[in-house]
């Protein structure tokens, strides 16, 4: 405080986060400015999509969609009118489905052509904030009725159908073939911990619990590493051990057969890499 009591001096800082690419040639930094998060490699491996904090929203789990060309190193902002809470790229690399910021007018799920030859189309307006591509022509999202539930719909927003009566906290990821979803649900007596479950999206065998004491926070895979996710070919599953009470920031790689039920990380925790 100044001696005359009219001014207050303080320090202000900003957080930064960079996207890096690890491949056969080593490590390469993709972004250099701002807070970048939620990177997704394009199906052809030529581009990296990511969210960058900015726009009108001040939320640290929301940002604008950018794409970086790995050959030229150039980055470009896509759909500048939208601040997103989550997004996913279609398996053919031609479309993006995204959920807009919760404080935006008409917040919900949108779908857009990545070539930007047509305007984005709004599919829902109920404040949904997690959505993935599922089986061909299908989207998987968490939709609120009385509580959050797992839903499927067509890519035009029609044929909306609730998959399970069980309430969920977060939809974390969906397998590339659209057969499985990883969700977190509240425990009976402790909201700090979550039950991590595998949901069968097309009747291949019900629900399996992967973890009943995990600390999944308020939505992994938004700014931090995904809790569980798949490689594009479905042959490898990535498990971020930070959520499983192992005091590890490492990622576990589990081989799996495309279309098969995800393996249980607790049964493979000694295979940390």
In tens, the pLDDT along 20-43 reads: 998 888 999 999 888 999 999 999
Q: Is 262 helix (H, G, I), strand (E, B) or coil?
A: coil
Q: Are residues 154 and 101 in the same domain?
A: no
Task: Residue 184: name the closest of 157, 159, 152, 210 by CA.
Answer: 210
**pLDDT of res. 208:** 84
**pLDDT of res. 271:** 43
CATH number of the domain encompassing residue 16 = 2.120.10.60
Q: Are residues 114 and 134 in the same domain?
A: no
**pLDDT of res. 101:** 77
Q: Is 16 helix (H, G, I), strand (E, B) or coil?
A: coil
- Maximum distance among all alpha carbons in the chain? 72
Cα–Cα distance for residue pair 37/19, rounded to 1 Å: 7
Q: Show Cβ contacts of residue 121 under 8 Å, excluding neighbours closer than 6 positions.
A: 110, 111, 112, 156, 157
Is 7 among the domain residues?
no
Is 1 among the domain residues?
no
pTM for this prediction: 0.86
Across the strands, what pairs with 161? 152
Q: Are residues 111 and 158 in the same domain?
A: no
Cα–Cα distance for residue pair 186/215, rounded to 1 Å: 10
Cα–Cα distance for residue pair 212/152, rounded to 1 Å: 25
In tens, the pLDDT along 193-222 reads: 678 889 999 876 678 888 877 776 655 556
**pLDDT of res. 273:** 41
Is 96 among the domain residues?
yes
Residue ranges, the chain, pLDDT below 50 = 269-273
**pLDDT of res. 266:** 59
Boundary of a domain, candidates 97, 129, 161: 129
Boundary of a domain, candidates 129, 157, 179: 129
**pLDDT of res. 82:** 92
Owner of token pair 């491949």 = 23
Cα–Cα distance for residue pair 98/123, rounded to 1 Å: 10
Please spell the DSSP secondary structure of 185-239, one letter per residue: EE-SS-TTSEEEEEEESSSSS-EEEEEEEE--TT-TTSSS--SEEE-TTSSEEEE
């Amino acid at each position: 405080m100044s001696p005359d009591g009219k001014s207050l001096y303080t320090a202000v800082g900003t957080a930064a986060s960079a996207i890096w690419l690890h491949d056969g040639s080593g490590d390469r930094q993709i972004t250099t400015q701002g807070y970048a998060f939620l990177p997704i490699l394009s199906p052809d491996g030529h581009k990296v999509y990511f969210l960058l904090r900015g726009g009108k929203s001040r939320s640290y789990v929301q940002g604008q969609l950018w794409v970086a060309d790995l050959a030229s190193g150039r980055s470009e902002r896509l759909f500048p009118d939208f601040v997103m809470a989550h997004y996913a790229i279609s398996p053919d690399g031609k479309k993006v489905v995204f959920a807009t910021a919760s404080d935006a007018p008409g917040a919900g799920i949108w779908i857009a052509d990545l070539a930007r030859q047509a305007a984005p189309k709004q599919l829902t307006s109920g404040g949904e904030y997690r959505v993935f591509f599922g089986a061909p022509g299908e989207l998987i999202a968490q939709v609120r009725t009385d509580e959050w539930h797992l839903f499927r719909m067509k890519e035009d927003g029609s044929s909306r159908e609730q998959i399970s009566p069980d309430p969920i906290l977060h939809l974390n990821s969906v397998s590339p073939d659209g057969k499985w979803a990883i969700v977190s649900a509240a425990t009976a007596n402790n909201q700090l911990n979550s039950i991590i479950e595998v949901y069968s999206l097309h009747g291949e065998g019900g629900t399996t619990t992967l973890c009943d004491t995990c600390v999944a926070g308020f939505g992994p895979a938004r700014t931090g590493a995904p809790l569980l996710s798949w490689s594009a070919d479905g042959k490898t599953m990535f498990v971020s051990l930070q959520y499983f009470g192992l005091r590890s920031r490492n990622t576990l790689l589990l081989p799996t057969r495309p279309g098969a039920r995800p393996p249980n990380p607790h049964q493979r925790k000694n295979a940390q890499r």
